[in-house]
Each structure stands twice: as C-alpha cells, then as structure tokens.
Homo-oligomer: A and B are copies of this chain.
C-alpha cells in the first residue's frame, strides 16, 4: 500500500522503515533533503515538495504528517490540503491536542478530505518493538488504512494473549485501535501519557524512599526548626537501588516496561548523578489534568504527578517563600540555611 510521509525526524523515519520493511511503498518528504536521501537509500521514494509528493501518490492518497504539534502541524496540514483532492486522507501522527483535531477534521471535510489522528507511543524503541497506535477518524477511512497501521504496530506476538481472547486476534491485540471519531486517537494517547506520568512518579517516589532508608545512620544536628527523625533505628539500611529495580522485574506485581528502563538507567549510573532532576512536561500531562477537571473525574494521583514535575523545575519557589514568610511572622522562625 502507498503512503506519503512528511517529516523525517526520528519518529517519521522509523515509521517509514517499518512500512518499507513490511512491503509498503512510501513517498517521503522533509525540508532537509539529506533526510529524504537517507530514506531513499533504504527503499523509499523521495520528493522535493508537497506537490511533488502528492503527484507521486495514486488517488485516493494517504499522507502521514509527522512534524511538531501546534504551528508546524497546522502549516503542513494547510499546505497539504491545497495539493490533495477529495477522498484523500491526511493523518496526523504527532502529539497534537485532540481539540485541534476536531477543528481540523471539520475544516478538511469541507474539501472532502478525510482526517485521521494517530497517537503514537513507543519512543526510541518503536523501530524495533513496533508502535502502539491510538486512532481517531471516520471508520471507513481508518479501515482502509489498516494494513499500514498493522505494519507499524507491534503485532499480537509482542505480548502474551489476554486470558479469554482465543479467537482471531482483534486489532487492539495487534497493537492498534480505532478509538472513535476525529480526536479520539489523540484523546486516548493524551490520557495514556497522563497515566505514564503517574506511573513514573510512583516508581520515582518509591526509589527515593529506598534511597533514604539509611538516614538513621547519619548523624544529624539537633534543630528546633526541623522534625527530628522519629526512629533512627528503623532507618539504617544501605540498599542497592539498581539491584532492587532489577529484582522487581521478575515475578513481582510492579514489573513493567518503565521499570525495565529504570533498571537500565540505574545500572549505568546508580546515583543518577548525570541528571539534575529538572523534569520537563510536554503537553499531554497537562491536557489530561484539564480533561479530568472538566469531566469532574477525580485524578489526584495524575494531577499530583504533574505538579511534582513543576516543582522539580523550581516553580514552587514563591509559594515556599510565602510559607517561610508566614512562619517568620507568626513564630519568629528563621529559615534554615541549605545544608
């Protein structure tokens, strides 16, 4: 099957590789001609403009846009809609806000162009493992593109089948799912990332507790301003955090792919000293929080995981200063200098 791919960064290029490997025919474009050449060398068809790309595809065409969300995606989709025709399909595989999908789909529908949004999870590992695809759009269009999604997704063998699923594997088991109309794919991907923040925070906090299990052994100066350690005898462990991450990978309830990665990171650097701990957040976590709030769904863990990232970047500073100022005012408590 034929697919146009616009945007040949790491994600776009790897999608093309999986498709090409599976026998699909990709026409590729990037503003950087070098990236186009690289994929041509691997079997793709190059193009030097959107119009050129459109011309090399047979109608009805399908073009996958894999550029940064927001302005860049807007620009490409708009330009692309000028060189495509009715019954063609534009696929947004980036991290767009699902609300923008709804607008885009409506706008493209006026020209008879179909819009499909695909939330794509897999990170740097997707080339090899396959990507998990969460898809929104009208059913016939999504159905027509199924062979492409199947080639990108990990396939049923990537995990043991769920008990009770004995029939011919459904699409979800192959690693891609048509979630609903426009935006549904990015909505599910958004929540996926919100959940990811929560899971990551759970591990991170747990490892921090383990790492501090020896504080009872440290001598600490008495200090009226800070709570003394209640039971120093209960905190005298010197735990090997990397080994704990490793042992949890097998047979425990908390085994997961994120744990696998954490074990690898801790093996490389048991004290993670190359990381400063300023943790970015990139849109989906915030949007998930907003969705939860607007729905009225209590998501305290996901919200807290998000705010911890803000705090890690020092954005709690004025709040903390306010607390110190209050303490000074009511109790004459001077701040303790940094240790």
Contacts and interface: CB of A to CB of B under 8 A. Distances in A.
B192 A319 contact: no
A163 interface: yes
Nearest to A227: B283
**Looking at A230, A253, A277, A303, which has the most chain B CB atoms within 10 Å of its CB?**
A253
Given A123-B331, A233-B102, A304-B304, A318 B250 contact: no
| Copies of this chain in its oligomeric complex | 4
B293 A327 contact: no
Given A121-B253, A254-B256, A256-B258, 5 more contacts: A188-B239, A199-B202, A208-B315, A209-B291, A290-B290
Contacts of A292: 205, 209, 307
Interface residues of A, number: 173
A308 B311 contact: yes
A78 interface: no
B126 A251 contact: yes
Contacts of A315: 208, 212, 296-298
A70 interface: yes
A329 B262 contact: yes
A269 interface: yes
Given A212-B297, A228-B70, A325-B272, A192 B206 contact: yes
